[in-house]
A and B are shown apart, each in its own frame.
Chain A
Amino acid sequence: MKKLLLASAILILGVSAAKADYTMVIPQKPGAGTSQWASIISKHLEKHLGEKIVLKHIPGARDIPGFNKFHNDLRFDEKTIMVSHGGNGVSFLTEKVDYNYLDYDPIGGMNLTIVMGHKNLKDKAIFAGGSGNVPDVMALTLYLCGNLTSLSDYKKCYEDKITFVKGMSGGERRMAYRRGDLNVTRENPAAYKKHAQEAGEVLFTHGVTSAQGFKIVDDPNHPNKSFIKQFVEKWGEQPRGNLYEAYVLVKSYRDTLQKALWMNKNNPNTAKVRVALESMLNDPEAVKDIERSVGKYDWWKGEELFDVVNKLDSMTTKEVLITLVYWQKEVLGYNAILKK
């Protein structure tokens, strides 16, 4: 009996200790891109935090259920950290989701971009992806069509010049690009180097958002290859108009919040985790490891990321959303709703 009681006590203590760990919620299956990033971040962050971080994967359709679960339930736990990724930003604008970035304390996030590559692209692009690639298709349309006067003109031009193949995973897209079945691809910078660099060349990058003035500037890893510069080179003028504004909004939501960490508003542990993150970013070994995963990019830290979210919110006007919904529904055939 004594042994049984002792065993029970050890078990209870063990469970309590396990509960005391931090939990990092990832809205994807293990092995997916942001999951890999999160596993590397957690490995280094826990060293600087001084407490273990347990990964909790909550996958689901377009990675929404995990973030919803955080918003509705898990965020009230003081040791729960949420990992957001690019697709969450796109879904936030035009889909029915529960989560809202303004309700959380930002811990930090990487200021990333996406690289578009091509292989002998002339007039007709063959590109593959899912709803997270909406900004890529918009940019490709603008690049191939130039500044047009109306959305219906853009739609016609898109239909003439772009074949958007739905239903391909990232891996399949890479293989198809290597084979030449696709002549345009997209990757995060590190993956581009690994999977697409040899097969073709950079068409443009979406550019990164500068901390000063919140402007889209060159990706330091691919100078002079930003979308804006490539557009000007091709058409001799700056991109402008409704479609361009909608593109900037959705691209900014996706790329600036692509790999970011959040805790609930006024969580007493936020400051401690922010300090740990700062310390991790001064650890050369950790930085090298993270850069290997996504490339060499700056971080938005703590309040900087809060400012980003507020800026994005101010950019989200009804007019821009109408264009975005039109593009997703009428042009790409995706389900989309006007939220604001």
Chain B
Amino acid sequence: MIELIGGVLYGLAVGLIPTAGATTGLIILFSFLYIFPDPYSALIFIMAVVAASTTADTFSSVLLGIPGANSSAATIQDGYPLAQRGKASLALSSAITSSTLNGILWGVLVFCFIRQLDFVYLYVGTLELWIINLIAFLCVVFVLGKKWYLGLIGLALGIVFALVGTNPVTNSARLTFDWEYLKDGLQLMPIIAGVFAIPEIFDALVGNKKPYKKATKSYVKLGIYATFKNWWISLKGGIFGAIIGFLPGLGGAVADWIAYGQTVASVKNPTIPFGKGNIRGVIGCEGANNAQKATSMITTVLFGIPGAPFAAIVLALLMYLNIELGDPSIFEDQQLFNSMLFGFLGGTIIVAIILLLFLNKICYITNVPYKYYFPIIFILVVWSCVQYTGGWEDYLLFAIFSVIGIIAHKLHISKPAIIIGFILFERFELLSVQLLTRYIL
């Protein structure tokens, strides 16, 4: 139980830091694994971190308009406008409820039936993954309605950033300008921070940012009710999240945007337009969040193939603990599956209780003038951005993307589209290369 509570608190802290997310939190754990008395205790802690950070990363997206992790960028679309209207508690309570219910549902399904699922992978190949990537691209552009061209520009920008690095066909440098640092491509953190966080901080600094409307009452009960009222949207989000998580290598950003896209498409003539604070926009994509984390563990456990970046770290952490995921012998270890289920479900439920209990208090941050907390946010964001090498290059990239982010913000170019273009294009390019060599050339 101590491991569970510890994992929840640590995951909560990591999730609340803008742009950090589960993967960053898990990497840090390598230095602390020795403190656990046995591998199963560590496993409970790890799964609790995954569950808690995934639920908690919504706070940064809703309250600050800065993604808590790349998989929570879609939540900003409607969550942040709600917070600006003094209804942060409505957005957050809906998000937590939707995320938690789907986390419980998919957590139970995954960890109880994981052994029976391996046959499904025989039917999902390169073409199917390529099509899903394409759908995510289309979703992020066309959810903007008539202003789809701003999404397309953002997507193109993201793709240009993704092209920097090494050409996967020839292994030669591409758009690196002979700078060794760029040969591994641009890093995600400076782009997220530059595109999302810095424009908000900059606006606050120059006085362009309007104060949030004061939160005069609590909307927590209403938010929970809204999720149950729109249970089908939440469940559909969960189904999309689960399917994407199930397919190795696609990741949370795809899941959230496809879930958001289908929510927008399925609600005709909404009273509040999507992108302006429609609560269903929050419920749909948050339904995908924890579901995706749960199903990402399927290939990781069955085959030792990480279903998402965070799962690669889980795999390595468990290897360090002498637990070899993907090895058929683990299926005889019932304690392993019990620990995973306990950590993931316990983490999902406890973090939800903690967050709902303290939600109103946390939401009061929107009543505090920016000048008191934006310096702290700025420091945390800079810290996240310089974790790659810690050298001056990290700082320079952060500065460059801050300028790009401010310009994009002024021109109203879709920020999520930039991020999705950047995250998904590398994968999309590799899948395209595979299809071309295998079936066309």
CA A60 – CA B170 in complex, angstroms? 16
CA A335 – CA B319 in complex, angstroms? 34
CA A39 – CA B249 in complex, angstroms? 23
**Structural contact, A172 and B248, CB atoms closer than 8 A:** yes
Instruction: List A218-275 residues whose CB lies under 8 Å from chain B.
Output: none
Instruction: List A16-66 residues whose CB lies under 8 Å from chain B.
Output: 29-32, 35-36, 39-40, 43, 54-55, 58-62, 64-65
Instruction: List A44-94 residues whose CB lies under 8 Å from chain B.
Output: 54-55, 58-62, 64-65, 68
CA A58 – CA B387 in complex, angstroms? 11
Top-5 shortest CB links A-B = A31-B312, A171-B305, A167-B430, A335-B172, A61-B183
Interface of B is mostly: helix
Residues of chain A lying within 8 A (CB to CB) of residue B138: none
CA A126 – CA B125 in complex, angstroms? 15
What per-residue 1/0 map shows which CB atoms of A284-300 lie under 8 Å from chain B?
Answer: 00000100110000000
Number of interface residues of B (CB under 8 A): 46
Number of interface residues of A (CB under 8 A): 47
Nearest CB of A to B246, in Å: 12
What per-residue 1/0 map shows which CB atoms of B299-319 lie under 8 Å from chain A?
Answer: 100011110000011011001
Given the known inter-chain contacts A165-B437, A195-B303, A334-B171, please indicate yes or no for A65 contacting B180, CB distance below 8 A: yes
Task: Count A-B contacts at CB 8 Å.
Answer: 116
Residues of chain B lying within 8 A (CB to CB) of residue A168: 430, 434
Residue of A nearest to B431 (CB): A167
Of A29, A43, A95, A164, the residue contacting B320 (CB under 8 A) is A43
What per-residue 1/0 map shows which CB atoms of B415-432 lie under 8 Å from chain A?
Answer: 000000000000001110
Nearest CB of A to B261, in Å: 25
Determine whether B31 belongs to the interface, using a CB cutoff of 8 Å to chain A: yes
Residue of A nearest to B433 (CB): A167
CA A43 – CA B319 in complex, angstroms? 11
Given the known inter-chain contacts A68-B180, A172-B249, please indicate yes or no for A178 contacting B121, CB distance below 8 A: yes
Determine whether B367 belongs to the interface, using a CB cutoff of 8 Å to chain A: no
Given the known inter-chain contacts A31-B312, A172-B248, A179-B122, please indicate yes or no for A60 contacting B438, CB distance below 8 A: no
- Report which residue of A40, A60, A128 has the largest number of chain B beta carbons within 10 angstroms of its beta carbon: A60
Nearest CB of A to B201, in Å: 29
What per-residue 1/0 map shows which CB atoms of B145-164 lie under 8 Å from chain A?
Answer: 00000000000000000000
- Contacts from A to B (Cβ < 8 Å): 29-32, 35-36, 39-40, 43, 54-55, 58-62, 64-65, 68, 95, 126, 128, 130-131, 163-169, 171-172, 174-176, 178-179, 181, 194-195, 289, 292-293, 333-335
CA A102 – CA B126 in complex, angstroms? 42
**Structural contact, A171 and B126, CB atoms closer than 8 A:** no
**Structural contact, A65 and B168, CB atoms closer than 8 A:** no
Of B31, B171, B313, the residue contacting A335 (CB under 8 A) is B171
**Structural contact, B320 and A61, CB atoms closer than 8 A:** no
**Structural contact, A333 and B170, CB atoms closer than 8 A:** yes
CA A29 – CA B316 in complex, angstroms? 10
What per-residue 1/0 map shows which CB atoms of B269-286 lie under 8 Å from chain A?
Answer: 000000000000000000
CA A315 – CA B437 in complex, angstroms? 34
Supplied contacts A65-B184, A195-B304, 19 more A-B pairs, CB within 8 Å? A30-B30, A39-B30, A61-B173, A64-B183, A65-B180, A65-B181, A126-B438, A163-B438, A166-B168, A166-B433, A166-B437, A167-B168, A167-B431, A169-B249, A171-B305, A175-B299, A175-B305, A178-B122, A333-B169
